[in-house]
Amino acid sequence: MNIIWNKTSGQFHLYNDRISYIMGVGVTGELTNLYFGKRIHEKEDMSYVVFKMGMPNVVVDADTETYSMELNRQEYPSFGTTDFGTQAFEIETANGSRISSFVYKNHRIYPGKKGIDGLPATYAADDEAMTLEVDLTDEVAQMTLTLFYTIFDKYPVIARHARFVHNGNAGVRLTKALSICLDLPDQDYEWMQFSGAWARERIPEVRKLGTGTVSIESKRGVSSANQNPFVIIKRPNTDEFAGEAIGFSFVYSGNFIAAAEGGNHDRLRVLMGINPDRFSWPLSEGETFETPEAVMAMTDSGLNDLSRTYHRLYNNNLVRGRWKNEPRPILNNNWEATFMDFTEETILKIASKAKEAGVELFVLDDGWFGDRNDDFAGLGDWIENPKKLPQGMAGLARKINAMGLKFGFWIEPEMVNPDSNLYRRHPDWVLSVPGRKSSLGRHQLVLDFSRKEVVDHIYDMLYKVINGAPISYIKWDMNRSLTEVFSLDAGPNEQGTIYHRYVLGVYSLYSRLIEAFPDILFESCSSGGNRFDAGMLYYAPQAWCSDNTDAIDRIRIQYGTSYGYPIVSMGSHVSAVPNQQTGRRESIRTRANVAYFGTFGYELDLNEISEEEFEEVKGQIEFMKKYRKLIQFGDFYRLRSPFETDQAAWMVVSEDKNSAIVGFYCMRSNVNTLPGFLRLMGLDPDRLYRMEGDEYYGDELMNMGITLSCFYKKGFTISEDHASFVTVIEAV
């Protein structure tokens, strides 16, 4: 990795073994993009790619009559001079003008990477990355804009964000501040987004790009299940194993927008950042606003390669602390076993059976606090209910520990029921508009986490529950979108900051709890996958992938999630049947075969299953303990898409290529068809492997594939609906 500054040409070249990113100071001092793609040789001057034409365009000034920003690629464009595309930012000055003109002033290059105050971001040691900071100034607005670029040594990745500083005394207002803009020289791409809704999250959708704009966004206050803050643009011939693609991942958990705009001169502009709708940020003299980070990765080797880049980067340079690259404990959660109707005796009985099966962690879900027996009351009162926990959380945790199990519990700290002591004491602590009705979601209101005293109060209550108790895990839930986003503590000039300040409040509570209890494993949850984003992974290294635990639906959900997020980040459990969401009754084998490819656990009472199934559960847990490091941190390959066929398949391969595990799923059987072949990936072509007692060379398994019919004689019935198998491959 390196960053070169060619002073004579005014150009920067960021590169590593796989990529080059080249930009330069333009004709009037603006920062322009010259190239992003596969690694190319260093050359002092690449300005021949700049278009200078005597065409009837609006030009920057009289001395540059052949140069228009409309025809050239910009790094961080504004609107209103000669670039008529979508802008990356907008500043309103005291006189009402929204015209900006930032020009190059200076720059800094240094090893490593700095953090972003109050926000999650990737990190890197001095030998892992190089960073470029470019300062640009607008003398009229009295503003400094700093653009940050970090290139990593091992990954074809550039992380970007921006910082605004107001140097004047008149006051300005940011009405838009995105994190990234990438201008490309042609539009021959397809747009790939990951959309859905509650219980059907992150389903890939692909559309052709051209002239005009394609965009996705969230205005729900969370990144949302409806649109994930991760998109890919790819060449039309790119598939899982070959072709060019660029990924854009937003390290943020609130409102966002991602867009691709095709211009009339074949330029393509991709933007990502905080959604400007309802965003307005005043800056007084000396004040700063820093955008969240966007992580841009590229490949010329297909979508699987792009995904593995994000998996490795986020596991190694985003997730932090005690659980970084650590296999996750196998857990049993009581939610689907008891819901809120339980006693300590009930919980201990379930935990005892879980221990007998080999489970390592028991999790107490909703209903342990306040007057909480249903969805209507108690939320916000984080004090143990003595009727359910007579010796408090610490007493139950010690009893669970005495069984040889770790212990964790559920919280939803951002919400409050109107029927709660917290709301009765502090009705002004919720997001609400004076004189207007407040919307309810799951019978709850949203606490105003833009206010420090609210976050402090929740922290104090949770600290008292956790401190002194042997707590190993916390599931942090958040079950509704934000509405009536108005803070009773903020003035009219500050209401446009509340969405973002709310997210900063969530991050601050996470940070304080992690600092106080660094060994606790946090799992984020937001009605399942409603806030499954890279920002959350910085605080909680795993997320409940979806409230939909149906194994067949989970194949699609986990498959889609894998495009941008590591396998170990996906909370995936074997749940009770009939399934709560679909009513289906998949076998306990298939439920486990899907759940293996994630964190793995059980959402049921193991006392309620048959003895035969219980023995199968013990075998499943033994299998997962043996292979979880390979599954959770191996190289993941999508082999067969559940969105294109009635079958699905994926596999993981160890870094040394000595071991692999394949998962295959028949989602719908077809009559009078041959089972066919499944071609594997990632193995050593010259190595001999053993699978199900037979031996195959790596090139044989990857080029010819395994015949699925061989599994009939192994006792698998893969021709039936919802049948599945998982098989281990080991080097001989």
Domain spans in the chain, listed from the N-terminal domain onward: 2-317, 322-630, 640-731
Mean pLDDT on 99-114: 97
Can you tell me the mean pLDDT for 141-155? 97
CB proximity list for 389: less than 8 A, separation 6 or greater? 344, 368, 395, 396
pLDDT above 70 (res 718)? no
How confident is residue 674, by pLDDT bands cut at 50, 70 and 90? low
pLDDT category of residue 438 using cuts at 50, 70 and 90: very high
- Identify whether the C-beta of residue 439 lies closer than 8 Å to the C-beta of residue 480: no
Determine the pLDDT at residue 61. 62
**Distance between CA atoms of 691 and 732, rounded to whole angstroms?**
10
* Cα(324)–Cα(511) distance, integer angstroms: 16
CATH topology for the 2-317 domain: Beta-galactosidase; Chain A, domain 5 (2.70.98)
Confidence of residue 668 (pLDDT cuts 50, 70, 90): confident
Confidence of residue 672 (pLDDT cuts 50, 70, 90): low
Q: What span, in angstroms and rounded, lies between the C-alpha atoms of 549 and 579?
A: 7
Tell me what pLDDT residue 478 has. 97
The two three-digit tokens of residue 95, written as one number: 């006189």
For 563-570, what is the mean pLDDT? 98
For the stretch 159-177, pLDDT in tens is: 999 999 999 999 999 999 9
Least confident residue range of 42-51, 285-294, 315-324, 695-704:
42-51
Q: Grade residue 69 by pLDDT with cuts at 50, 70 and 90.
A: confident
Residue holding tokens 């080059």?
A: 20
Establish whether the linkage from the previous residue to 541 is cis, with ω within 30° of 0: no
pLDDT above 90 (res 683): yes
Q: What's the CATH class of domain 322-630?
A: alpha beta
Q: Is the pLDDT of residue 78 over 70?
A: yes
Give the CA distances from residue 107 to residues 83, 141, 149, 332, in Å, rounded to whole numbers and listed in that order. 24, 20, 11, 53
Q: What percent of the chain has pLDDT over 90?
A: 90
pLDDT at residue 90 in the model: 98
Separation CA 164–CA 504 (nearest Å): 17
Return the number of other C-beta atoms located less than 10 Å from residue 148's C-beta. Answer: 21
pLDDT of 346 higher than 70: yes
Domain 640-731 has CATH 3.40.50.300: no
Averaged confidence pLDDT in the chain: 95
Residue positions annotated with a catalytic role: 477, 547
Tens digits of residue pLDDT in 233-281: 999 999 999 999 999 999 999 999 999 999 988 999 999 999 999 999 9
- Residue 629, CA distances (Å) to 44, 327, 624, 662 in order: 46, 6, 9, 15
For residues 457 and 476, give the distance between their C-alpha atoms in angstroms, rounded to a whole number.
17
**Side chain identity at residue 606, one-letter code:** L
Q: If pLDDT is split at 50, 70 and 90, which confidence band does 64 have?
A: low
Nearest to 76 by CA among 158, 175, 148: 148
Q: What is the pLDDT of residue 720?
A: 76
Indicate whether 208 pLDDT > 60: yes
Strand 521-524 versus strand 542-544 pairing type: parallel
Mind listing the pLDDT tens digit for each residue in 12-34? 999 999 999 999 998 889 999 99
Residue that the structure tokens 């999508």 belong to: 638
C-beta neighbour count of 493 within 10 angstroms: 11
pLDDT at 714: 54
pLDDT of res. 242: 98
Q: Quote the pLDDT of residue 65.
A: 73
* 322-630 and 640-731 agree in CATH topology: no
Q: How confident is the model at residue 58 (pLDDT cuts 50, 70, 90)?
A: confident
Strands 406-411 and 473-476: parallel
Specify which residues 523 forms β-bridges with: 475, 542
What would the mean pLDDT of 180-187 be, rounded to a whole number?
Answer: 97
In one-letter notation, the amino acid at residue 454 is V
Quick check: 648 pLDDT over 90? yes
Mean pLDDT, residues 104-121 taken together: 98
Is the pLDDT at 582 greater than 80? The verdict is yes
How far apart are the two ends of the chain, measured CA to CA in Å? 37
What pLDDT sits at residue 717?
53
Q: What is the mean pLDDT of residues 609-615?
A: 97
- pTM exceeds 0.85 for this model: yes
